Structure 1
């Protein structure tokens, strides 16, 4: 499954952002799948028959005060399957799974217009510090799976695969 997952992300990001970005995200997915402890990595896929058409990964985002949320990154839906609700349904499935496991906070770094459709809202680094300086602060998003968003003071850290300023 990991080679299929890497291929999905590489192709999707190559189509939308160019070949170099596709390779970068493919490598990121490979790193996340191989370096993140199995019990911490939450991955979900959507298939059409035997074909993988969408995937999303969630990994821990730990705060200085001991609180742990999860970070949705990355997410991909094959270009020809976009605009049909597949990605949103997959994210909602993943969020429900996290909620059932007692996870209360989920973050992502992406397009507010897309992620607001699945419950995310823009937050600031004053509310929740990202692991690295954000190149697009308006893309820092969060949602509470247990009520209201309550800011957390102090720094945060992510898993090894995402721990590079290049992704932020």
Structure 2
């Protein structure tokens, strides 16, 4: 009976030890499960934030696309039409055309053609007498604010 009593005490000690190990394993598993649930919740929250950001980016992209289409279809032609029909541009082009016409008629075209062929400046022409470089610089300063974007 003594040996059976010792066996019972030994078995109850082992049972207690196994119960403690099982309890520790259960607590560790619950802790891991809780960490996993927290991680899943953070991932879901992150996913929701990214979804909202992507949706906002899609809406912004759509608005920009519509604006660009409007600019290309309406605004750019309006700006170009305004520039083409501007009084300043017409005046400037008339002055350039008139100066070139006067220069060509002054001494005849052959003299100008010969000077151009020999890559020389023909000082007999009115363009050179009227200081066309100075006029060009003045016009350049006058229209310096005009910029043409490449579409």
Identify the TM-score tier after normalising by the shorter chain: under 0.3
TM-score for the superposition, normalised by structure 2: 0.18
TM-score for the superposition, normalised by structure 1: 0.16
Where is the strand percentage greater, Structure 1 or Structure 2? 1
Where is the helix percentage greater, Structure 1 or Structure 2? 2
